[in-house]
Amino acid sequence: MLELGQALSRRFRAYRADWRLSAFQLVTTALPFVGLLVAMGIASPHHHGLALMMALPAAGLLVRLFIFQHDCGHGSFFRSRAANDAVGRVISVLTLTPYGHWKQGHAIHHASSGNLDRRGRGDVETLTVDEYRGLSRLGRLGYRLYRSPYIQVLIGAPLNFIILQRIPRGASYRDPSARRSMLSLNLALVVVFGLPMMFVGVWEVLAVYLPVMVLASWIGNWLFYVQHQFDDAYWERDGAWNFHASALQGASYFKLSPILQWFSGNIGLHHIHHLCSRVPNYHLQACFDEAPELSHIARRITLRESLGCWRLALWDEQRRTMVEFRELNLRSA
């Protein structure tokens, strides 16, 4: 696995950013997104249902824009670091996600994904069976609520994107660069959303953007969860953890239809992305096609199968698999 991962990583480095393809993606995504927002604003006072219907494709385009911001954070959307940072910060005003702070946390995620001794930054909190059993009743209840898709997706995702990312707290409060990233974005949001609110109205702007943001956060959270939370995922203690094994075995191949793959910026090919994060989203499919051996290594998950991933909540170190709360209760009986 180590040799294969290293060999593929070297091969994939040839797929570098092409500014023309990146610019084309930006234009063909941002213009329809802005157009839909304008159309929603016009329709909302008279046909609120029609405006809400347009919120779904707008949310899909916002998810796609987030993937561009994500690529900028990896330095893969353009070859120029300055161009990546500039575009990433502009898009962050639409995604409500502080570029610098998120970029730092996501780099830690890539450097530690699947490492049981380095959990806690940029990932979905995952406890082992023994850790869960060691919790108090209140602690177990809290973890069960956290792992519930109703709490984590329907409530937690919008709460995080819309509110929590506005407030420096904990480690982000103690880190000056993280504070600057979050507070500077807050200032930009006041300007970008405040001006139309002055001319059009607060409710009119919120009625258009909040449904789009909520839907996009649900979609984005679902994608991120499925990419690393599946039955035979990769988890190892620090001494045995390996970057290439984590990429190939700990990141899924989320098989989506062509239209969903387009909206999600090919991020379902997550094993390739973790193996070589400098590959821009528009080259991930070519990497996959060039390496058919990956089809037999990475965990392939369909859209229907992804629904079952939400039942998995704990890592069983003895059986080396993710298990459900229900299964744990049966084994304890």
| Helix or strand holding residue 128 (H, E) | strand 127-128
Over residues 278-329, the pLDDT tens digits come to: 999 999 999 999 988 777 778 899 999 999 999 999 999 999 999 999 888 6
* CA proximity to 123, closest of 194, 43, 213, 229: 229
Q: What are the CA-CA distances from residue 293 to residues 261, 285, 297, 298 (Å)?
A: 21, 14, 7, 9
- 234 vs 113: CA distance, rounded Å: 9
* CA proximity to 228, closest of 260, 250, 244, 199: 250
Range of the domain at 73: 2-332
* CA proximity to 254, closest of 292, 277, 279, 225: 225
**pTM, rounded to two decimals:** 0.93
- 255 vs 188: CA distance, rounded Å: 36
Instruction: Determine the pLDDT at residue 227.
Output: 92
Over residues 206-221, the pLDDT tens digits come to: 999 999 999 999 999 9
Over residues 2-17, the pLDDT tens digits come to: 567 677 888 888 999 9
Quickly tell me which residue has 């690529």 as its tokens: 71
Instruction: Determine the pLDDT at residue 2.
Output: 59
DSSP labels for 241-280? --HHHHHHHHS-EEE--HHHHHHTTTTTBHHHHHH-TTS-
Count of the separate structural domains present in the chain:
1
